[in-house]
Structures are given as C-alpha cells and as structure tokens.
C-alpha cells in the first residue's frame, strides 16, 4: 500500500493483477509466471512499469461501479459475475469497492475470473469479454494494510481500455499539503489511516480521469463521523483539485469521473423512508448530506443519474439484508457516478442495475462521450 505521503503504482499484465504494495516491498519484474496444469498463467510476479498508450476508439466510455461487500463472498454467490455483468452492461471499466481482499489472496481471485473466461473461449466477440483470443482483462487491486479483510477497491478493464499513466492508489501526493483541515496529530493519524485502508484508486485515460472510492462509513454510533467530515472530505476535495491542477499544467482537458460507494443518501428521495429517524444514522446525517452537496458544488461535479433521471423515485443501490428490505425495495441510493459539470451534456446514459445480485449493493454505471 501507500506510504503516508506518497502514492505507489504498479502496472499489470493482461489478466494479471496489480496489488499495490508497501513502498519498501521489492517489485518483481519479468515473465517468470508459473503456469497451471492447464497451461494458463497464474499470478506469480509483476510486469515492468511500462506506461501503455490509450485506445483510439471514439466509442462512448462505459464505467460500471459495484460495492461487492466482499469479493470472495460475491464469487461464491455469483461465480460468473464479471462475465454476466459485462453482458448486461458492456462496461469498459468495472470499479469495485469493499473487496475485503488481502495481497496474498488476489492471485486466486484473478484465477477464478480467468477460469470463467476460459470456459467461453469459443464464444468471443460482441457477446464476450474479449475482442479476440489474445486479448484479456486487466485487474488492479488496492488492499487495506491497516486491517485484514476490510475495505479495498479494484478496477477491472477491458483490453482496449489502456491508460496514459499507471493506476495510482491513495490520495494525491499533494493532497495532505493542500487539504483544508487542521493538521493536528489526531487528524494526521486519521488521514494516514484512510490512506492505508485501500479506499482510493485513480487512473488516467487520454480523455478522462477515473476515480474509484470507497468512502468511510460513519459507523455505529457515528464514531467516525468527525473524521469523515473533517478529514476525509477535505482530503478528497484536495485529491480532485490536485488532479485538475495537473491537467492544467499539462494543458489537458479531461473529464473527471468519480464513482463508488459514497455512503450517503443525498436527498430524501434517495432513502426509502423514516427520514427523521435516520437523520441520526450513518449515511443520512445532515453533516454527511451537506458535505456531499458541498463536494458537488465546490468541485463542479454532476450526479449523472439525477442528471439523466431528474424525476426518478424509488431507485436505490443498497438494501439491508434485514427484514427483506430488497424485496420490499426499502433501500438507499448511496452509490454514485459523478461527472465534471463541463462534461454533463456528454452523459449519454446513467443507470442502476437493481436486478443484479451477489451483494447488498447493486451495480450502477454511466456512459459518457469523451
């Protein structure tokens, strides 16, 4: 994972995974991957950090986001979820939150996905994940080093989606200096802890910057509310602002697409009911909702689903496992795809895949002309 002030980046080979490592970890390079009995690659080492070039296609970019609430558990409930979700959404980039993965477990997850694809080697093309037999998915994981089986984000990309710079985990390297919070010992500790929990991954394409986040839950008794509002929110504002500053220096104009589980129902219609009672519950406090409003305003971002579906009601992305909440549609819309205000007219579609099972959240996505 990251050190306290810098970001770590490692590229990954097709269908291999890049686990972001501690800065003191030795990075292996080369092609000495072991092969399974079936002759396929299993993760044994990392490839070199050669930066790839981006695709020249003019097709809209489709980004899907899903909190899987434990990748292993989702694989057990829905073992072919990557293939099935692709067939349903035709994603270019799949952003996953709350993987709960550890570095040592990542290889087996990649192997499971690879097995899923190998079963369909004879059915590639428009209905499959590959353009041809040699094209493979790439997966990138950021795992929590602060606590085992906790948090974590990942990106899974189609073979024709390539980066202009390597995926990065954690806050931008200038975020701590630029974040508008008091640099007390307690706040600095919270900042560094967030940075070690595998909550942020950023990648850059030729025309877009994609940010995948798992926003901290304020927790039972709102025990992390102060840290979330006073440290996390300013840190993420600084993160996005620094990315914009970098683009200005390079004289580049790119869309910012920020997706993930934001752990807040922004408006009353983003929560099924019991609004007054839930104002003291994590995810619907006045502080969290105001902070989300301020991020949209200050960072000039648009909620893509509300932009495309301004009158939609009873559209949620999370349902508690209790009291048959999903069957009764007693849910929360706490997962979002935010897009730069300057690009909102390029939002071709924004959608929620409420019938896709495997987690207490469902996937959502945005299609953007870039």
Residue 361: inside a domain, yes or no?
yes
Residue 296: inside a domain, yes or no?
yes
**263 annotated ligand binder:** yes
The answer to whether residue 123 scores a pLDDT higher than 70 is: no
* Average pLDDT for the chain: 83
Other beta carbons within 10 angstroms of residue 253's beta carbon come to: 11
**67 annotated ligand binder:** yes
**What does the pLDDT read at residue 4?**
37
Q: What's the CA gap between 174 and 105, in Å, rounded?
A: 31
Other beta carbons within 10 angstroms of residue 312's beta carbon come to: 13
Q: Structural domain tally of the chain?
A: 1
Residue 281: inside a domain, yes or no?
yes
Cβ-based neighbours of 189, under 8 Å, separated by 6 or more: none
Residue 9: inside a domain, yes or no?
no
Q: How confident is the model at residue 6 (pLDDT cuts 50, 70, 90)?
A: very low
Residue 45: inside a domain, yes or no?
yes
Whose tokens are 């089986």? That residue is 149
**DSSP characters over 162-186:** --SEEEEESS-TTHHHH--S---HH
**360 annotated ligand binder:** yes
Q: Check which CATH number belongs to the domain holding 283 and give it.
A: 3.60.10.10
Structural domain boundaries enclosing 178: 17-368
Q: Residues 175-196: what's their mean pLDDT? A: 98
Residue 5: inside a domain, yes or no?
no
Residue 11: inside a domain, yes or no?
no
Q: Which residue would you say has higher pLDDT here, 158 or 266?
A: 266
Catalytic residue numbers, as ranges: 214, 261, 361
Q: Write out pLDDT tens, residues 21-75.
A: 333 333 333 333 333 333 322 222 222 233 343 444 578 999 999 999 999 999 8
**361 annotated ligand binder:** yes
Residue 4: inside a domain, yes or no?
no
Three-state DSSP at 103 gives helix
């Amino acid at each position: 994972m990251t050190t306290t002030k810098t970001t770590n980046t490692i590229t990954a080979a097709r269908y291999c995974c890049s686990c972001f490592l501690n800065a003191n970890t030795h990075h292996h390079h080369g092609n000495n991957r072991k092969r399974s009995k079936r002759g396929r690659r299993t993760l044994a080492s990392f490839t070199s950090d050669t930066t790839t070039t981006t695709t020249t296609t003019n097709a809209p970019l489709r980004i899907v986001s899903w909190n899987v609430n434990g990748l292993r558990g989702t694989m057990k409930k829905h073992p072919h979820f990557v293939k099935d979700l692709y067939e349903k959404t035709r994603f270019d980039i799949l952003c996953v939150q709350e993987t709960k993965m550890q570095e040592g477990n990542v290889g087996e997850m990649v192997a499971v996905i690879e097995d899923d694809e190998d079963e369909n080697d004879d059915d590639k093309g428009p209905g499959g994940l590959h353009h041809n037999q040699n094209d493979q998915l790439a997966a990138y994981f950021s795992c929590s080093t602060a606590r085992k089986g906790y948090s974590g984000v990942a990106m899974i990309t189609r073979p024709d989606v390539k980066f202009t710079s390597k995926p990065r985990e954690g806050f931008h390297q200038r975020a701590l200096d630029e974040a508008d919070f008091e640099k007390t010992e307690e706040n600095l500790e919270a900042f560094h802890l967030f940075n070690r929990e595998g909550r942020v991954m950023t990648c850059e394409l030729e025309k877009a910057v994609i940010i995948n986040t798992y926003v901290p839950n304020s927790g039972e008794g709102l025990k992390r509310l102060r840290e979330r509002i006073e440290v996390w929110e300013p840190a993420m504002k600084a993160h996005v602002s620094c990315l914009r500053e970098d683009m200005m220096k390079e004289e580049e104009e790119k869309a910012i697409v920020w997706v993930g589980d934001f752990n807040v129902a922004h408006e009353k219609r983003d929560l099924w009911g019991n609004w007054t009672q839930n104002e003291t519950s994590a995810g619907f406090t006045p502080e969290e909702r105001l902070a989300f409003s301020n991020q949209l305003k200050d960072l000039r971002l648009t909620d893509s689903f509300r932009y495309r579906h301004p009158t939609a009601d009873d559209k949620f992305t999370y349902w508690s496992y209790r009291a048959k909440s999903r069957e009764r549609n007693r849910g929360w819309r706490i997962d979002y795809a935010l897009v730069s205000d300057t690009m909102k007219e390029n939002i071709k579609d924004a959608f929620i895949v409420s019938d896709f099972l495997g987690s207490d959240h469902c996937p959502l996505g945005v299609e953007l002309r870039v």
